Amino acid sequence: MPATFINAGLVLLGSIIGLLFRGKIPQRFTQIITFGLGLCVLVIGMDAALDTTDTLCVIVCMVVGTVLGELIDIERRMDGVGDFLKAHLRSQGAGNSRFTEGFVSASVLFCVGAMAINGSLAAGLNGDWSIIVSKGVIDGVTSISFAAAMGVGVAFSILPLVVYQGGLTLLAAWIGPYLSDELVTQMGAVGGCIIIGIAVNMLGLGKEKIRVGNMLPAIFLPAAYLPLSHALAGLF
């Protein structure tokens, strides 16, 4: 939970800066900062991914999990939920549409994403705050441009952020004692690979944007892979 409060605090700070310096921050500054943060996210992902002692587990879980996510098309569904919320709440809040647009757009962006889920799991399972704090810095920078464009509604996005991300962290902490250290490590390694995908998107390295949302099922597959691999090892 403390990491989520840091994330929320950085969003609030970024929103205040955006409101104070509306129209005065050149786009090139936010762009170069985003690239710098992308490199930091890349390092975080590589650190987690290289922590594994079972590379085959990571490969199998990433392949199977990505296929499952692609079949379900998680990312499109997540985008669809966000689009529905934006359209619905904008129509309901016509009297203050700019506030509603800022609130909903920022809430969807900060809450719905692979880094929010990865970070919450890491914080809850092994007390690793680095992913959420890094996400908080990214969200803070993003909230500057959002608040400058859409106003004070962006600052209020910290409310759903705390509820959603904090709830995931508490849930992960609750189930954490029932998970083996090996399972937590492998889930973290798979999550690290997904975070590398986020970094690639931030840096614009791919010809197409990686649909990292469709990779999310892979995080949970070590729970099935490890017992199966141990059973097969016992037989042979």
Per-residue pLDDT of 170-229, as tens digits, reads 998 998 888 888 888 898 889 889 889 888 988 888 788 888 888 889 988 999 999 999
pLDDT of residue 224: 94
Amino acid present at 131: I
Query: For the chain, what percent of residues have pLDDT higher than 90?
Result: 25
pLDDT of residue 100: 73
Say if residue 130 is exposed, middle or buried (CB neighbours under 10 Å; 0-12, 13-18, 19+): middle
Task: Of 168, 164, 148, 147, give the one whose Cα is nearest residue 103.
Answer: 147
pLDDT of residue 82: 62
- Tokens encoding 153: 């509604």
Task: Of 79, 62, 38, give the one whose Cα is nearest residue 205.
Answer: 38
**Which of 9-18, 46-55, 149-158 has the highest average model confidence (pLDDT)?**
9-18
Taking residue 166's Cβ as centre, other Cβ atoms within 10 Å add up to 20
Is 60 exceeded by the pLDDT of residue 20?
Answer: yes
- Tokens encoding 216: 């999310």
pLDDT of residue 169: 92
Beta carbons of 135 and 115 less than 8 angstroms apart: yes
Beta carbons of 44 and 141 less than 8 angstroms apart: no
d(CA 162, CA 143): 15
pLDDT of residue 153: 84
d(CA 166, CA 235): 42
Higher pLDDT, 95 or 170: 170
pLDDT of residue 91: 60
- Tokens encoding 89: 């709440």
Say if residue 195 is exposed, middle or buried (CB neighbours under 10 Å; 0-12, 13-18, 19+): buried
Segment 17-43 mean pLDDT: 81
pLDDT of residue 227: 93
Beta carbons of 36 and 167 less than 8 angstroms apart: no
Is 90 exceeded by the pLDDT of residue 22?
Answer: no
Q: Is 179 helix (H, G, I), strand (E, B) or coil?
A: coil
Write the pLDDT tens digit of every residue in 106-153: 877 787 667 888 888 888 888 888 889 989 998 998 888 888 877 888
